[in-house]
Amino acid sequence: MKKELFGLSLIELQELLVAAGLKKFRAAQVYQWLYQKSVTAFDQMRNLSKADIAILEANFTLLPQQLKILREQVSQDDLTRKVLLEFPDGNSVETVLMRHDYGYSVCVSSQVGCDMGCAFCASGLSGCIRNLTAAEILAQVYIFNSMLVGEGKQVSRIVVMGSGEPMLNFDAVIGALQFLHRENTLYMSYRNMTISTCGIIPGIEKLTQLGLPINLAISLHAAEPELRTELMPVNKGFPFQDVIQAAEAYVGYTGRQVTYEYILIAGKNDSPVAAELLANHLRFKHASVNLIPANPVPEKGFERPSKKVVEAFLKVLQKHKINATVRREMGKDIDAACGQLRARFAQEQQD
């Protein structure tokens, strides 16, 4: 049975290649092709002999090469590209490439599906099927990086904000981020990495202890206990007041300001009173607020508020000197919300 090479350290790669009959120095060459040049097929590694390539192909596999793009959508402005990737076991996740004026970022999933049950999100419609491995998280970055490398560009930022709760797959997520930070891979700065959580306090505490300057984003979406529990059942186990306290400890240890994500849902959490409550909880905190007009999710029946309502909410926060912005929308025309593309594809397969 062939062994998977993608995601291994250089030492692990050396051990496997030597055992297969290759010279030790070949591992460094393969490693460079995979993680610096983003080549995803052995026969494209031009400084390897045909005999060595034959040994590699007979004994090993490369995960990015095995990924199947089930569906791909590109926004009309060509700034956002979203793919539904199928892994060899048949499970699929969504991954998004976004082009900004400062570079390219990839939003990756950390789980197949999600168990958080947030009322506004399509990711959890079928629950969490399984955690992704560190290699599967990395592959989502490299599938896009392989497209960019021919243009002399590469992914410079990663956001773990796709399907799944990253803190419930902590080791794999951190393993993938640490891998991308290595000098002999993409050498991506930790400051260009963001982990988004629903507020799993033990995960926030573990991240705090690591002391890495990774950006922390917390999905808040309501500052009233009963409403947040309605929207986000995780609030029962981890009340948002305790989450904010854990986030402040993270700020104190890493010096990184925390971003609070707040999806504005028409008639639910978008009133001036709701804005006042949010401001009260975040006043004097090392925090910024990212307001996100809801992407319509037909399965959930939620609608986005009007532009006027959004602006009124923002003004309340600014009046209280809360650093707040309205998220620049990208990919609105291509099933932009997490889980929408996967849910749509699954429904089509059933019909």
* Catalytic residue check, 94: yes
From the number of C-beta atoms within 10 Å of its C-beta (0-12, 13-18, 19+), residue 15 rates as middle
Write out pLDDT tens, residues 34-54: 999 999 999 999 999 999 999
248 is in an annotated binding site: no
The percent of residues in the chain predicted with pLDDT above 90, rounded, is: 85
pLDDT average, residue stretch 193-203 = 98
User: Would you list the domain boundaries of the chain?
Assistant: 3-64, 67-350
* Catalytic residue check, 198: no
What pTM did the predictor assign?
0.92
128 is in an annotated binding site: no
pLDDT greater than 90 at residue 344: no
Look at residue 298 in the predicted model and tell me its pLDDT: 62
189 is in an annotated binding site: no
Torsion of CA 295, 161, 246, 227, to 10 degrees: 20
Topology of the domain comprising 67-350: TIM Barrel (3.20.20)
Average pLDDT of the chain to the nearest whole number:
92
pLDDT average, residue stretch 285-311 = 87
Q: Which of the residue ranges 96-105, 164-173, 324-333 would you say has the lowest mean pLDDT?
A: 324-333
Q: Taking a C-beta distance cutoff of 8 angstroms, is the pair 94, 341 a contact?
A: yes
Determine the straight-line distance between the first and last CA of the chain, rounded to whole angstroms.
Answer: 36
164 is in an annotated binding site: yes
Give the Cα separation of 220 and 222 in Å (integer).
6
Active-site residue (options: 94, 107, 128, 198): 94
122/346: higher pLDDT: 122
pLDDT greater than 50 at residue 345: no
- Domain 3-64: assigned CATH number: 1.10.150.530
Write out pLDDT tens, residues 113-160: 999 999 888 777 779 999 999 999 999 999 999 999 888 899 999 999
pLDDT average, residue stretch 333-351 = 50
Give the Cα separation of 251 and 216 in Å (integer).
9
Active-site residue (options: 107, 128, 198, 338): 338
295 is in an annotated binding site: yes
* DSSP β-ladder status, 92-100 and 80-86: antiparallel
